[in-house]
Amino acid sequence: MPRTKQQFEEIRLKSQKRILDAALEVFAKQGYHLATVDAIAKTAGVSKGLMYNYFKSKEELLHELMIGMMENMMAEFLPIKPGEKLTKKIVTQMINEGIDLVLENPKYWKMYFSVFVQPDVMNMIMDKIMEMLQPYFKALTNYFEEKGEKDPVAMTRYFSAVMDGIQLHCMIDPKTFPAEKVKKILIKQFA
Amino acid sequence: MPRTKQQFEEIRLKSQKRILDAALEVFAKQGYHLATVDAIAKTAGVSKGLMYNYFKSKEELLHELMIGMMENMMAEFLPIKPGEKLTKKIVTQMINEGIDLVLENPKYWKMYFSVFVQPDVMNMIMDKIMEMLQPYFKALTNYFEEKGEKDPVAMTRYFSAVMDGIQLHCMIDPKTFPAEKVKKILIKQFA
Amino acid sequence: MPRTKQQFEEIRLKSQKRILDAALEVFAKQGYHLATVDAIAKTAGVSKGLMYNYFKSKEELLHELMIGMMENMMAEFLPIKPGEKLTKKIVTQMINEGIDLVLENPKYWKMYFSVFVQPDVMNMIMDKIMEMLQPYFKALTNYFEEKGEKDPVAMTRYFSAVMDGIQLHCMIDPKTFPAEKVKKILIKQFA
Amino acid sequence: MPRTKQQFEEIRLKSQKRILDAALEVFAKQGYHLATVDAIAKTAGVSKGLMYNYFKSKEELLHELMIGMMENMMAEFLPIKPGEKLTKKIVTQMINEGIDLVLENPKYWKMYFSVFVQPDVMNMIMDKIMEMLQPYFKALTNYFEEKGEKDPVAMTRYFSAVMDGIQLHCMIDPKTFPAEKVKKILIKQFA
DNA sequence: TATGAATGAGGATTCATTCAT
DNA sequence: AATGAATGAATCCTCATTCAT
């Protein structure tokens, strides 16, 4: 008797998750190009072949991973519902969380950032991610508008850039970067 | 025959420069891992063998390149002599130049940034670069101290991070990023 | 419960046929080596596991298929009973049918031919097929003998070779090959 | 001092030839799909890498080989200059040579034939080969026209098909195929 | 009987590096 | 100083086959 559809589905999901987790770990430690499919499979405790059952290439594995991370991050980073407005409190929280997230797992974020900087290959991802970020940009633009900023669109881009810069430095040097002080500066300036 | 020696030296330097220029171009276009030694040699118009006369590996080529770029950038970006003090004017100039440099050649800077984000491989470079940045950090700390900032060290790191974030976004999206408006915000805030 | 046994047997035969049909289709389209077991199973609408219940390997599947095709073809191509003699009419029919069969399904026949040309792997099949062809060769030899040919054995081999050559060209270029004219030539020469 | 251009050219040609010879041998013995690049390189006594210096893929290697064989064969098989007319003597020679060539090296010709029967992959080769065969078809058509055949184009195609059929059977069973007798039949019929 | 997840050996391809000239 | 032919380890990916259910 074969397993039921549902049983198979469960098995599939479980294996996929193991592979994605392993990929995250290995990509984070070695970077995309130095990470071998072999190492990922070994880390996941599955065969290489299985990987290719679920992801049609190493690149697709990265894509899926990035999209997944992005979705998770968005959920934590921008905890508002569509249409809801940003408040000072929420922006404060975004700043704090955005920095803490990186400090907790600098390796993962290195991988994440590195993609933005890879030439060619990753353009597909960029589009997808930009699309996902739209509501976040909109909400911020709204927020800055209500705060009375003259050019809320520019301010939003400025804020995003600043946050990315901070996160970048947290990643590079999590030990000596004065995260707490910088948080305060940011909150004072933007929230 | 000292004359001949000098000529050899000239040829050496010229070839080296051609190779470094080619490497920069190819690394910038393809990223370190996707760039092949072959492509670099071809771009430089020399043989692979010659390349290995001057640089003992692909990695060394990258190192030399990065250090060189860093030195150039520092010269332009921080045009003060050791001991000299930063003025509002100079900081303003730093902000403007720092952004314009990236906008002029986003590809090169992508390569540059990507190194900071590569795990493992580039740890060696980091030390060297951090060392080179020391005087720049010091001068900025001094500057912020004189401007009356409470925590000038934190402010310096904040400023560096912000500048990197802006530059990152300029690189990613040089066309729609509101560089001029952001410059104004930065100058108002830091200069 | 003999009834149940019979039902099982029916199911078995039905599944086997579906798999063989699918195999024929996929082998014909992609060639033996490029055809995947997966594709065959999918085309047949069964699981890979089931396939291996009926055929112990991809190679056996090919064997069964070839033998089956051979039997079918023989039935159509040489519609005489053992011992019965070939007549002009029957030979004419063989020529016409032999060419039409190929023109109707050039892909299948390509697969069929390709086996004769594969080194190593398929030697096993050759023996089996040669054995099956014996009565056909005998009947032809008889026929040519009665027609007064000096060397009926050679003539038989010649006829077989010619037919295969014609069929090969029909397969390669079914559109522009002058099949009807060639039929006439053949009939005039051999029938 | 580097070698001269000419020296390099010689080395290249020599290596290429070794690889092509090896490829012919291995493809002939195992068939395209079962032949491994490794085996070819080993047979040629060079590294796998070198193969890829000269041929950008296994498939291209096959293409080059086929084209080369074709050219050689044409030179022997159709020893007339463009514009020159075919005579009975030349056609007789074509028949004899065409069969002897195959009998001498059935393996090579198996490889050659197998390509015509491979689905998909080899379409590029087909076009090239058809183009090369044009002058041969033209000369034959002319010949049959002057011989007073009613439909010389059809006759040409018939003749080609017959020759291929004979060659095919020579390949499959070089030992018992009555080559000499068949030659006589062919000569009587076509020359 | 029937399923499809899992395996892993095997194969094509790439590319930094070496070395004879 | 200069060349580019040659190497081979490393890597991605495929697919026939097995097996627990």
Mean of pLDDT values over A44-50: 97
State the smallest CA–CA distance between residue B188 and chain A in angstroms: 12
Does B126 share its domain with B81? yes
Does D101 share its domain with D185? yes
The CB density around residue C116, as the number of other CB atoms within 10 Å, is 20
Contacts of D16 (CB under 8 A, 6+ apart): D54
Report chain B's mean pLDDT, rounded to a whole number. Answer: 87
* pLDDT of C2 strictly over 50: no
Does B70 share its domain with B50? no
Indicate which CATH number applies to the domain containing B138: 1.10.357.10
The CB density around residue B31, as the number of other CB atoms within 10 Å, is 22
Q: Do D158 and C182 count as a contact with CB atoms less than 8 A apart?
A: yes
Contact indicator for C189, D188 with CB cutoff of 8 Å: no
Which of B37, B55, B73 is the last residue in one of the domains? B55
Query: What is the number of structural domains in chain C?
Result: 2
State the smallest CA–CA distance between residue A57 and chain B in angstroms: 17
Structure tokens at B92: 């303003």
Size of interface C-D (CB pairs under 8 A): 123
- Of B76, B71, B58, B49, the C-alpha closest to B20 is B58
Percent of chain C with pLDDT over 90: 57
Structure tokens at B8: 């050899």
Q: Do B162 and A157 count as a contact with CB atoms less than 8 A apart?
A: no
- Of A187, A30, A12, A184, the C-alpha closest to A108 is A30
Q: How confident is the model at residue B30 (pLDDT cuts 50, 70, 90)?
A: confident
The CA distance from C59 to C67, in Å, is 12
pLDDT at A75: 79
Rounded to 10 deg, the angle between the B152-172 and A152-172 helix axes is 110
Which of C55, C70, C99 is the last residue in one of the domains? C55
pLDDT at B149: 93
Does C73 share its domain with C51? no
Does D156 share its domain with D103? yes
Contact indicator for A40, A22 with CB cutoff of 8 Å: yes
**3 state SS of A34:** coil
Which of D37, D55, D73 is the last residue in one of the domains? D55
Report chain C's mean pLDDT, rounded to a whole number. Answer: 87
* pLDDT of A186 strictly over 80: yes
Contacts of B154 (CB under 8 A, 6+ apart): A178, A181, A182, A185
Q: What is the pLDDT of residues A78-136, one digit of tens each?
A: 666 667 788 999 999 999 999 998 999 887 887 877 777 776 555 667 777 888 888 88
The CA distance from A189 to A155, in Å, is 11
Contact indicator for B140, B159 with CB cutoff of 8 Å: yes
Percent of chain A with pLDDT over 70: 92
Residues 76-135 of D with CB under 8 A from C: 107, 110-111, 113-114, 116-121, 126
* pLDDT of B32 strictly over 80: yes
Q: 3-state SS string over B104-168?
A: HCHHHHHHHHHHHHCCCCCHHHHHHHHHHHHHHHHHHHHHHHHCCCCCHHHHHHHHHHHHHHHHH
Mean of pLDDT values over A27-51: 94
The CB density around residue B25, as the number of other CB atoms within 10 Å, is 18
Mean of pLDDT values over B17-28: 93
Does D178 share its domain with D135? yes
* Closest nt by CA–C1' to C59: F16
Does C116 share its domain with C134? yes
Rounded to 10 deg, the angle between the A106-117 and A58-77 helix axes is 120
Does A39 share its domain with A70? no
Mean of pLDDT values over A7-30: 94
Indicate which CATH number applies to the domain containing D36: 1.10.10.60
pLDDT at C127: 76
**3 state SS of A86:** coil
Contacts of D81 (CB under 8 A, 6+ apart): none
Mean of pLDDT values over B63-68: 88
Contact indicator for C169, D139 with CB cutoff of 8 Å: no
- Residue bearing the bigger pLDDT, A58 or C125: A58
Q: How confident is the model at residue C187 (pLDDT cuts 50, 70, 90)?
A: very high
Residues in chain B: 191
A117-121, A187-191, B61-65: which has the minimum mean pLDDT? A117-121
State CA B106 to chain mean position distance. Answer: 12
Q: CA of B52 and C1' of E18: distance in angstroms?
A: 10
HSE-CB for D32 with a 13 A CA cutoff: 28
Percent of chain C with pLDDT over 70: 90
DSSP classification of residue D1: -
Does D73 share its domain with D140? yes
State the smallest CA–CA distance between residue C5 and chain D in angstroms: 42
The CA distance from C79 to C139, in Å, is 11
- Could you tell me the CA-to-CA distances from D81 to A150, C182, D84, D85, D142 in Å, in that order? 85, 29, 5, 8, 14
Q: How confident is the model at residue C134 (pLDDT cuts 50, 70, 90)?
A: confident
The CA distance from A139 to A86, in Å, is 6
Contact indicator for D161, D145 with CB cutoff of 8 Å: no
| Residue-number span of the structural domain to which C113 is assigned | 57-190
Long-range contacts of A170-177 (CB under 8 A, 24+ apart): A170/A99, A170/A102, A170/A103, A170/A106, A170/A109, A171/A102, A171/A106, A171/A109, A171/A110, A171/A113, A171/B117, A172/B116, A172/B126, A174/A102, A174/A103, A174/A106, A177/B157, A177/B161
Q: Which nucleotides of F are covered by protein (CB under 7 A)?
A: 1-21
Q: Please provide residue A33's backbone torsions phi and psi, each rounded to the nearest 5 degrees.
A: -75, -35
Q: Which nucleotides of E are covered by protein (CB under 7 A)?
A: 1-21
* pLDDT of B79 strictly over 70: no
pLDDT at B120: 55
The CA distance from D102 to D95, in Å, is 11
**3 state SS of B46:** coil
List alpha helices for chain A, DSSP H: 5-30, 37-44, 48-54, 58-77, 88-104, 106-117, 123-146, 152-172, 179-190
Q: How confident is the model at residue C157 (pLDDT cuts 50, 70, 90)?
A: very high
Q: What is the pLDDT of residues D16-62, one digit of tens each?
A: 999 999 999 999 888 899 999 999 999 999 999 999 999 999 999 99
Q: For chain A, how far is it from start to end, CA to CA, in angstroms? A: 61
Statement: the CB of B34 is under 7 Å from strand E: yes
Low-confidence spans in chain D with pLDDT less than 50: none
* pLDDT of B1 strictly over 80: no
Does A45 share its domain with A82? no
Query: In chain A, whose CA is at the least distance from the CA of B160?
Result: A165
Q: Is D120 left (phi over 0), alpha (psi -120 to 50) or beta?
A: left
Q: How confident is the model at residue C117 (pLDDT cuts 50, 70, 90)?
A: confident
Report chain A's mean pLDDT, rounded to a whole number. Answer: 89
Contact indicator for B68, B129 with CB cutoff of 8 Å: no
Query: Chain D residues with CB inside 8 Å of C189's CB?
Result: 189
Q: Do A181 and B158 count as a contact with CB atoms less than 8 A apart?
A: yes
The CA distance from C159 to C91, in Å, is 11
> Burial letters for B123-154: b for 16+ Cβ neighbours within 10 Å, e otherwise?
eebeeeeeeeeeebeebbbebbeeeebebbbb
Q: CA of B53 and C1' of F5: distance in angstroms?
A: 17
DSSP classification of residue A4: P
- Could you tell me the CA-to-CA distances from B120 to A33, A189, D110 in Å, in that order? 12, 35, 53
Q: How confident is the model at residue A60 (pLDDT cuts 50, 70, 90)?
A: very high
Q: CA of D33 and C1' of F12: distance in angstroms?
A: 19
Best interface-test mutation with A: which of B126, B140, B159, B162 has the largest number of A CBs within 10 A? B162
- Residue bearing the bigger pLDDT, B167 or A76: B167
Does C123 share its domain with C144? yes
Does D123 share its domain with D168? yes
Structure tokens at D57: 């893929």
